[in-house]
Amino acid sequence: MADYVVEFGKDGGRSAADGRLDAPAFHRNHQAISDVLTRFLTGKSGDAVEAGSGTGQHTVEFARQFPEVTWWPSDLNENHLTSIEAWRLHSQLANIRPPRRIDLSDPAWGDAVKGEGGPDELLAVFCANVIHIAPWHVAEGLVAGTGRYLRRGGMLFLYGPFQRGGQHTADSNAAFDESLRERDPEWGVRDVEAVTKLADGAGLSLVDITEMPANNLT
């Protein structure tokens, strides 16, 4: 799985002495994302994985918002894993587990979560701003693994920029897509229909598309 376009902590952003990194995007999008999750997770309990947790700030926010859900953050990048653990300790929230190092390109990524006392099935998987800055086989592995790991009625939440019907939803997304493909031809803004086709093959089905700020979707 490819690293992020810009590794958090190396983009000029703030960092704390304990290793906590601060992602500006978190402050812009966490409330809108939480509003969507509230519609589907309120009143439910179980285990949820954040796939590609980055700094760890979203996991902490969601753990506060949904105290009946146990959150399992994850990432592949070692600096991100350090930040996630630092945020977990700083939050003092009992419903966040230590981060797991997982490679989403492997459809068996769930085994890394199950190991050492992890859950056998999941209420939810949340993944933000990952599949467009990684090769397509990462999306394939993420979706396939989610299909194997969700409990009946469980949900996969994907957040980020997407095309719809093969068309970009904004000029800014088209420019972003071009810049991604210039950096790595295997990256790019994905089409909702292509992701839906992956989901169908994994036993999942699309139930909702919510328009988000800055031309993103959940």
Q: What is the pLDDT along the chain (218 residues), one digit of tens a residue?
A: 344 445 666 655 567 888 999 999 999 999 999 999 999 999 999 999 999 999 999 999 999 999 999 999 999 999 999 999 999 999 999 999 999 999 999 999 999 999 878 999 999 999 999 999 999 999 999 999 999 999 999 999 999 999 999 999 999 999 999 999 999 999 999 999 999 999 999 999 999 999 999 999 99
Question: pLDDT tens digits, residue range 112-150?
Answer: 999 878 999 999 999 999 999 999 999 999 999 999 999
Give me the phi and psi of 73, to 5 degrees please.
-75, 160
The 10s digit of each residue's pLDDT in 154-165 is: 999 999 999 999
C-alpha span between 78 and 64 (Å, rounded): 25
Region for 12 from its dihedrals, namely left if φ exceeds 0, alpha if ψ lies in -120 to 50, beta otherwise = left
Domain parsing of the chain, residue ranges = 26-217
What does the longest C-alpha to C-alpha distance in the chain come to?
46
| Cα distance between residue 9 and residue 13, in whole Å | 6
Locus of tokens 């979203």: 58
The encoded tokens of residue 214 equal 């800055």
- Domain at 26-217, CATH class: alpha beta
- Is-above-0.85 flag for pTM? yes
